[in-house]
Amino acid sequence: MDSLKALEEYLKSKDNAENFFSSSEIPPICKSEACMLGVDEAGRGPVLGPMVYGVAYCPLSQKKILESLGCADSKALTEDKRDEIFTKMLIEQESIDNVGWKGEVISPKYISNSMYRRAKHSLNEVSMNSAISLIQMVLDGGVNLAEIYVDTVGPPEKYQAKLSEIFPNIKITVAKKADSIYPIVSAASIVAKVTRDHALKVWNFKEGLDMDHSQFGSGYPGDPLTKKFIREQIDHVFGYPLLVRFSWSTAELMLQEKAATCTFEDIDESPNKKAAGTKSISTFFSPKDKTSRKRHKFFQERCLKMTNAFE
């Protein structure tokens, strides 16, 4: 992958209803020298589009490369500036030789289905699982990780303890606003944000809608274009296209107002609940003659009785 155009072509080739990964080649130096890795996400709050988790890694001895790239608080960078930095990561030889990255694009469908499962899978759990899997993939690729820096999800202390338990031989630091503190986390944040931005730009509506990203906005609930999309692009029977996280309250309320009411029959029954007149399978193996038999004299004389060895 050597340009933003190549990134877009890759994103277009993927099924946007499913999760998938994108990544750089692993720089050989990252397998021999001790490295640091940063973790951050983009698109946690929007009602439209995927959430993307990103990691970036480089040797501890090459921190200056991150500074020369311009990795800083990604939220303070414009979209054009983030694109520029990511392009440098793709094409500048010094960056290619020292900085690796990987991202997971988590589909709106997966997010909503996770939150609606009977055993609910919260957004925090989805986020943590993605971060953990990305770190593990980097380790499995042979990268010599010595330090990991993570922008927190929930209380940083609990998250750090969980990661330290999973990766006991690596120094773990979890902090709030980590992308404004650690350049390696900023690099990961840029990977995530650029990937999400371009995933929205090339979004292919399987439902046949003929529109581009300029017509549905950033995806955040406060964006006027996003509000307009949520109000207007709702089918009375089928609800929203796959771009929408239908578990978000913004979408739920509109579905309740404009979509057909659905009633789902609860067909699950308690495993211990029997329909009237239904016999237990064990009754077919029980003696039909309920009269008690006289115990043998041998057992009576010795005061022996039947018992259960496992009680």
Residue 40 marked as a ligand binder: yes
Rounded CA gap, 218 and 137, in Å? Answer: 30
Tokens of 204: 């292919």
Going from the C-alpha of 148 to that of each of 49, 58, 66, 140, 179, the distances in angstroms are 28, 11, 15, 15, 13
Contact 50, 58 (CB under 8 A): no
- Extract the runs of DSSP E, i.e. beta strands, from 81-170: 100-106, 145-151
Per the listing, tokens 């017509």 go with: 215
Identify the three-state secondary structure at position 305. Answer: coil
Contact 246, 252 (CB under 8 A): yes
Burial of 283 (C-beta count, 10 Å sphere; 0-12/13-18/19+): exposed
Burial of 86 (C-beta count, 10 Å sphere; 0-12/13-18/19+): buried
> In the chain, what is the straight-line distance between the N-terminal and C-terminal CA atoms, in Å?
66
Burial of 96 (C-beta count, 10 Å sphere; 0-12/13-18/19+): middle
Residue 125 marked as a ligand binder: no
Rounded CA gap, 7 and 256, in Å? Answer: 38
Tokens of 49: 């589009």
CA within 13 Å, CB half, 27:
22
Residue 268 marked as a ligand binder: no
- Residues at the binding site are 40-41, 151
- Residues at the binding site for a divalent metal cation are 40-41, 151
